Amino acid sequence: MGTHTITNAEELRAVYRLPSDSAVKKVLTHLDKHCVNFINLSPICVLSTSGAKGSVDASPKGGDPGFVQVRDAKTLLLPDWPGNNRLDSLENIVGNPHIGMIFFVPGIDETLRINGRAVLSTDPSLRNDFSIDKKLPISVLIITVEESYLHCARAIWRADLWNSDNYVDRAVLPSMGLMLADQIKGYDGISADKRIANNRKKLYSLD
């Protein structure tokens, strides 16, 4: 690791400057009108969790803009639709309710960060609020907002994320199925690719 490893907060602050006054004061304990507007425009966020035994996970969650519902200035509702059933995030939340979220809006360089606590609910009335083509999410995360703040654009600028000239040709990478076939002995990548293509047609189905 070398002799320049940082091991405590004092050493860290010896390297980095103190945050600006606005970087500290911009942190809210609720959702204001700008946060609500950002969430309503966002088709994707990343949910970060940590389990009771130290397991960590960061999972993308997506849907039509506003797929995360704002119930009030302190509460968000996030539906959990069928997926791979690993349940990494959900198992973490059951053991440790603390979560972090970052919301993105395509074409907007700033992001929105949310920190808080989550509980998992299968309440039929909550699930019904997210009905799509008569299909319901399996569960709904009820998120209590403890911190919210708009994040500066530097990371997006550095990545030049929304510049379509930077999009990577899909042919640069093998298909998902073929990559998994390299990682899992005996895995049928071609059949997997057919299943993956079919999954796109039934995003909200348990089948």
> In angstroms, rounded to a whole number, what is the distance separating the alpha carbons of residues 182 and 82?
26
> In angstroms, rounded to a whole number, what is the distance separating the alpha carbons of residues 67 and 149?
19
Q: How much is the pLDDT for 1?
A: 56
Q: Which domains does the chain have, with CATH numbers?
A: 20-162 (2.30.110.10), 168-207 (no CATH)
| Cα 182 off chain centre by | 27
Contact yes or no for 19/62 (Cβ under 8 A): no
Q: How much is the pLDDT for 183?
A: 97
> In angstroms, rounded to a whole number, what is the distance separating the alpha carbons of residues 41 and 27?
20
- What residues of the chain score a pLDDT lower than 50? none
Residues in the chain: 207
The three-point CA angle 32-75-97 to 5° equals: 125
Q: How much is the pLDDT for 204?
A: 86
Q: Which two tokens stand for residue 81?
A: 């639709």
E strands in 73-110: 75-80, 98-104
> In angstroms, rounded to a whole number, what is the distance separating the alpha carbons of residues 59 and 54?
16
Which residues, in sequence order, are CB contacts of 144 under 8 Å at separation 6+?
A: 74, 75, 116, 117, 118
Strand, coil or helix: what is 165?
helix
Q: Which pLDDT tens digit goes with each residue over 27-41? A: 999 999 999 999 999
Predicted TM-score (pTM) of the model is: 0.94
Q: Which two tokens stand for residue 14?
A: 């010896």
Q: Which pLDDT tens digit goes with each residue over 143-152? A: 999 999 999 9
Q: How much is the pLDDT for 3?
A: 76
> In angstroms, rounded to a whole number, what is the distance separating the alpha carbons of residues 183 and 81?
26
